[in-house]
């Protein structure tokens, strides 16, 4: 299937005291039209900055893409001018941010925030844009949509503000929707409603969705395919069924083991031992080696490549790659 988006060998760095620190290194993945792909990993693994790089939203930060390509409909977004990107943002690619209260303009009414984007990208007059804005609010399940148009973000609940963010993102019918932790600040009931809403939009409009999350429950509920990131690298990619039935990478296994289970009466929940390596002092070899229960000599010496099997499943681990027996030598 031809991908709508292809990210190839993406490398992102931030400047600190005149030093360039790479936080994303060689990330590859694709999304097909109408597909929901999840990127999962611990805080600091690089998943959010990866999504920001697609939108080219590193303004006023020290971050920059230092390598790779981001192909959207066979067009490299990294080669476009800022003016060309403004035409794409909101219209062809839209984004739902993690915290709607900081993403919505606090001193602008909801209606005006919706209308501006519709007029800009679709060329409608104010009255036509207003009608479309009301319809979008209704589409995302907001009651009394007409009166909400005249309210400010602080007057709405967290769940309502997130629905408004989705309405703004979907108002110009983008082909790709990027959702960065869209349910983190919401209670479980509202979280389920927001996820169902996103799946409804994907089904009815054929919108491709890139879902950034650390919550494996959200992944299991929503995604077709999953990309697991660790320390700025992709360590595994699989369908949702493959990932949960037979995770290959020890990091993925640890993430799944960390999920609380109904009926578990153990006093302590499992957590992956150790810490994510400092981007300023990345170790040689596999970046997960210091936390891995299956570590071998070669893991500390050489970093494995991300390899794919015949059905497209990918993993970055020496346990599943061909190496000489004398190089294995398990060291605990």
Convert the pLDDT of each residue in 105-118 to its tens digit. Answer: 999 999 999 999 89
Ordered alpha helix ranges (H), the chain: 47-55, 82-88, 100-103, 110-122, 126-139, 145-148, 158-170, 188-205, 216-222, 240-245, 250-257, 297-301, 325-328
Task: Give residue 265's pLDDT.
Answer: 65
What are the tens digits of pLDDT across the range 205-237?
899 999 999 889 889 989 999 999 999 999 999
Quick one: DSSP state of residue 154?
G
Task: Give residue 291's pLDDT.
Answer: 95
Share of the chain above pLDDT 70, in %: 95
Task: Give residue 330's pLDDT.
Answer: 46
What are the tens digits of pLDDT across the range 123-171?
899 999 999 999 999 988 888 999 999 999 999 988 889 889 989 988 8
Share of the chain above pLDDT 90, in %: 61
Which tokens in the block code for residue 136?
Answer: 């979008």
Mean pLDDT of the chain: 89
Helix (H/G/I), strand (E/B), else coil: 102: helix
8 Å CB contact between 83 and 14: no
8 Å CB contact between 34 and 201: no
8 Å CB contact between 31 and 51: no
8 Å CB contact between 5 and 176: yes
Task: Give residue 137's pLDDT.
Answer: 92
Work out the pLDDT band at 38, boundaries 50, 70, 90: very high
pLDDT of residue 250 exceeding 60: yes
Task: Give residue 56's pLDDT.
Answer: 92
- Find the helix or strand (DSSP H, E) in which 98 lies: none
Helix (H/G/I), strand (E/B), else coil: 65: strand
Bridge partners, 24 (sequence order): 12
Q: Which of 25, 20, 4, 166 is nearest to 71 (CA)?
A: 4
């Amino acid at each position: 299937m031809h991908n709508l988006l292809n990210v190839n060998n993406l490398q992102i760095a931030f400047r600190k005291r005149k030093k360039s620190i790479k936080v994303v290194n060689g990330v590859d993945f694709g999304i097909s039209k109408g597909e929901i792909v999840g990127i999962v990993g611990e805080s600091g693994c690089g998943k959010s900055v990866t999504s920001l790089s697609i939108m080219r939203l590193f303004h006023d930060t020290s971050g920059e893409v230092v390598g790779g390509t981001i192909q959207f409909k066979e067009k490299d977004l990294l080669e476009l001018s800022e003016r060309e990107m403004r035409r794409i943002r909101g219209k062809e690619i839209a984004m739902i941010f993690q915290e709607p209260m900081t993403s919505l303009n606090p001193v602008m009414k909801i209606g005006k925030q919706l209308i501006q984007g519709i007029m800009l990208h679709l060329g409608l007059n104010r009255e036509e844009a207003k009608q479309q804005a009301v319809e979008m609010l209704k589409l995302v399940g907001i009651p009394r949509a007409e009166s909400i148009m005249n309210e400010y973000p602080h007057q709405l609940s967290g769940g309502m503000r997130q629905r408004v963010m989705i309405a703004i993102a979907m108002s110009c019918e983008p082909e790709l929707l990027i959702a960065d932790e869209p349910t983190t600040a919401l209670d479980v009931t509202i979280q389920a409603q927001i996820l169902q809403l996103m799946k409804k939009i994907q089904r009815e409009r054929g919108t491709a969705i890139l879902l950034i999350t650390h919550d494996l429950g959200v992944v299991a509920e929503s995604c077709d395919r999953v990309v697991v990131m660790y320390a700025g690298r992709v360590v595994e990619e699989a369908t949702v069924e493959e990932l949960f039935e037979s995770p290959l990478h020890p990091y993925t296994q640890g993430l799944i083991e960390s999920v609380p289970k109904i009926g578990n009466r153990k006093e302590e929940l499992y957590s992956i031992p150790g810490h994510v390596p400092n981007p300023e002092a990345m170790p040689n070899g596999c970046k997960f080696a210091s936390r891995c229960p299956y570590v071998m000599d070669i893991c500390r010496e050489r970093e494995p490549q991300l390899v794919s099997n015949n059905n497209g499943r990918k993993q970055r681990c020496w346990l599943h790659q061909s190496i000489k027996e004398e190089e294995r030598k398990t060291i605990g």
